[in-house]
Amino acid sequence: MKGRDESCTATRWLSIVGIGEDGVAGLSSVAKRLVSSADLVVGGKRQLGLADGLIRGRRLPWPSPIHDVLPEIEKHRGRPVAVLASGDPFHYGVGAMLLGRVPAKEMLCLPQPSSFSLAAARLGWSLQDVSLVSLHGRAFETIVRYLQPGARILALAWNGETPRQLARLLAERAMGQSKIVVMESMAGPRERVRSATAEGFDLADVAVLNIIAVEIVASAAAVVLPLAPGLNDALFESDGQLTKRDVRAVTLSALAPRQGELLWDVGLGAGSIAIEWLLCHASLKAIGFEERPERAARAAHNAATLGTPNLEIVQGRAPDAFEGQPQPDVIFIGGGLCDPGVLDAAWAALKPGGRFVSNAVTIESESRLTQCFQHHGGELLRLQVAKAARVGSAFAWRAAMPITQWRARKP
């Protein structure tokens, strides 16, 4: 029996149609037919307006929150439904959300050039050499990690104030000579492209729909996050509860982040381990557990300042705070080792094959790690850093307290 053709449009009742600022004129004949024949047409007010002359079925503007539309779409399963989206629905668009409820074999997607593609074409930039960032509906601080000398960035704005906000951030970080290009209403009759430096930003009346291009120029005094682990301790606000730079770099190496993994940072403190974990790759996730509210607040501030606002913080005492949290791929414990229940509960929560790293400073906590090493195996290391310090007119080595580190993989 001949296999069924999965590309057959008869089974694809949900159409996702990308529509640009040129409206109906930019749609293919197939896209026009899908919109005009749909029983239900979903989209933002702007998209519905752009396709106004085509729509014959019921119109449904996106609700708030947007996910509330999913049950209504599912009620029409098997009947023609069209979703109007900006540009490419599967590039920072609604495609992924819809795919969570409707299988790909039941969808037909007809994308248009994305705002990123249009902007790159205007500037003559190669997209593979550009950092693409969406600040639309996402924390503004997300862009911090991309602020590297010489970098080119395309950022989808949240609103008309986003370009000015970004210019202010760049100036504060001694990147005021960076060039900012603001592109509005791309590929439509109201398209406008304007530029300014960050420190001299004077563009007014920026449209809500805009994309920002940035060429980073960093002065010698610029605050730049290095791409390797081991950020300068001065970048973190702390009350002293901080894994120091050199030990932190070794600890991140032991944690060995891999794409998409979730870290539990138990005894979050200033958040340095979790923050550097998140900086390794945009797909990584982290949950920090911190009993003391002032430390939890400080860690949240550090996370936002250093470009990882997605750090999730659970304020509460371990191991009780573990209840109901998603199972981690990797666990780091830097505090709370004097309570034997914390280590045991964390080990039990770890996924099979997951990695466990813990640092100890006191003799008592070192004893606990030694017991874990004897019971679960792995590696037990002694780490010590000494730095040259002035003694009178000369220099001598001043050693920091030694760190005992246990590393293990759960069978």
What's the pLDDT tens digit per position in 123-153?
999 999 999 999 998 999 999 999 999 999 9
Is there a single domain that holds both residue 389 and residue 300?
yes
| Count of structural domains within the chain | 3
CATH number at residue 76: 3.40.1010.10
**Rounded Cα distance, 49 and 44, in Å:** 8
- pLDDT at residue 3, rounded to an integer: 45
- Structure tokens that stand for 325 in this block: 């949290």
DSSP helix/strand/coil, 305:
helix
State whether 121 and 97 are in the same domain: no
Say if strands 131-134 and 107-110 run parallel, antiparallel, or are unpaired: unpaired
Residue 214 CA, distance from chain mean position:
19
| Backbone phi, psi, residue 354, to 5° | -75, 165
Q: Are residues 131 and 85 in the same domain?
A: no
Residues 387 and 239 in one domain: yes
In a domain, 220, yes or no: no
pLDDT at position 61 is: 97
Say if residue 122 is in the same domain as residue 108: no
Q: Enumerate residue ranges in the chain where pLDDT < 70.
A: 1-10, 336
Question: Rounded to the nearest 10 degrees, what angle do helices 363-376 and 340-349 cross at?
Answer: 40
pLDDT tens, position by position, 383-393:
999 999 999 99
Predicted confidence at residue 228, as pLDDT, reads 94
Pairing of β 386-391 and β 379-383: unpaired
User: Strand 355-360 and strand 379-383: pairing?
Assistant: unpaired
Residue 283 identity: S
1 in any annotated domain: no
Phi, psi angles (nearest 5°) of residue 138: -125, 160
pLDDT at 10: 53
**151 and 196 both lie in a single domain:** yes
Residues 39 and 101 in one domain: yes
Q: Which domain holds residue 150?
A: 116-215
Q: Which of 55, 88, 112 is the last residue of a domain?
A: 112
Q: Which of 160, 189, 215 is the last residue of a domain?
A: 215
Q: Which residues of 65-99 are buried (b: 16+ CB within 10 A; e: fewer)?
A: eeeebeeebeebeeebbbbbbbbbbbbbbbbeebb
| Helices 293-305 and 272-280, axial angle in degrees (round to 10) | 30
Neighbours of 123 (CB within 10 A): 16
298-336 tens-digit pLDDT: 999 999 999 999 999 999 999 999 999 999 999 999 876
Q: How many CA atoms lie within 13 A of 310 on its CB side?
A: 18
Of 79, 112, 145, the residue that ends a domain is: 112
Relative to beta strand 312-315, strand 210-215 is unpaired
Domain assignment present for 40: yes
**Measured between alpha carbons, how far is 288 from 269 in angstroms, rounded to an integer?**
9
* CATH number of residue 142's parent domain: 3.30.950.10
Residue 221: inside a domain: no
Whether 266 and 369 share a structural domain: yes
pLDDT at 382: 96
Domain of residue 391, CATH code: 3.40.50.150
- pTM (two decimals): 0.90
131 and 108 belong to one structural domain: no
CA 202 to chain centre: 29
Co-location of 23 and 98 in the same domain: yes
